[in-house]
Amino acid sequence: MSEHLQIANLTFEVRRSSRRRTLGLTVDRYGELLVHAPDNASTDELQKWTQKKLTWVYRKLVVKESYTARIQPPAFVTGERFNYLGRSYPLRLVTQLSQPLSFDGTKFCLRREARPQATRYFKQWYSETGRGWLADRVKRLARRTTTNDFDIEVRDLGFRWGSCGKNSVLYFDWRVLQLPVRLIDYVIVHELVHLREPHHRPKFWQSVERAVPEWERRRKELDNRGAEYLVFATPRRMEPVHWKTRVKRASPEHRPISFTRTSLCATPTVRTKGD
């Protein structure tokens, strides 16, 4: 069970660690609020300390909002480009087409009259095309990470890239199909490892590293540049900056590895309702 603090209209997830000596506060790229604390800190102490940081937290959230306000949804006009597996393809509006949306490997074609529902058709296209592609890719990467059985589903996950759900079902957001394969691989491996490690503790990251040695570089790229590939995005995901300010620095030898990571996804044990 995760521990939460409710202060003003904000919910903070509390992450405790025996190695931690100081209190810390993170506003992650999804606007989720995390309080990092030593094992023995009292709830009262956490409450008072966090209360004092509220101005800082609100400022971070406001900056985040100003980024999300810049997002423009696609216009669905001829020449506009859409991404699939990290490559960009032009759209052409046509009058005659047997289906509302098609892709021939070099361009997307959208029937003009289907334009008002274009987002729905794209979502459908990514989900259907993506399901097959992801199933193959996951199978290949699973050899490096798990012996567990699992199923995969492609659906709308809102601001998350992926999620490891109950009954060993791995969920992927349809929007991941816009990313380059190297970044999708990281998302896949991240979720596969969650089948065995349903948390983001050091053991989890060690397993990720065994499957993708340069995972940190990919994770950083996903955080910092992932949004550049997204024509279809959810507002929260457009966050280009990875906000993480340590209010008080722990000395390096006492800094838990997990402290520098933020969640890519939400596993059943760490799910936080950020908003």
Point out which residues bind Zn ion (CB under 5 A): 264-265
- CA neighbours within 13 Å on the CB side: how many for 99? 10
CB atoms within 10 A of CB 112: 12
Using the minimum distance from each CB to Zn ion, give the nearer residue, 83 or 191.
191
Using the minimum distance from each CB to Zn ion, give the nearer residue, 100 or 191.
191
- Report the nearest approach of Zn ion to the CB of residue 86 (Å): 22
- Report the nearest approach of Zn ion to the CB of residue 268 (Å): 11
The whole-angstrom separation of Cα 104 and Cα 59 is 46
Using the minimum distance from each CB to Zn ion, give the nearer residue, 142 or 264.
264
Residue with CB nearest Zn ion?
265
Q: Residue 17 burial (CB < 10 Å; 0-12/13-18/19+)? A: middle
- Report the nearest approach of Zn ion to the CB of residue 73 (Å): 28
- Report the nearest approach of Zn ion to the CB of residue 251 (Å): 27
Using the minimum distance from each CB to Zn ion, give the nearer residue, 121 or 172.
172
Catalogue the long-range contacts made by 167-175 (C-beta closer than 8 Å, 24 or more residues apart): 168/195, 170/138, 170/195, 172/130, 172/134, 174/123, 174/126, 174/127, 174/130, 175/126, 175/230, 175/232, 175/233, 175/234, 175/237
Using the minimum distance from each CB to Zn ion, give the nearer residue, 111 or 173.
173
- Report the nearest approach of Zn ion to the CB of residue 28 (Å): 12
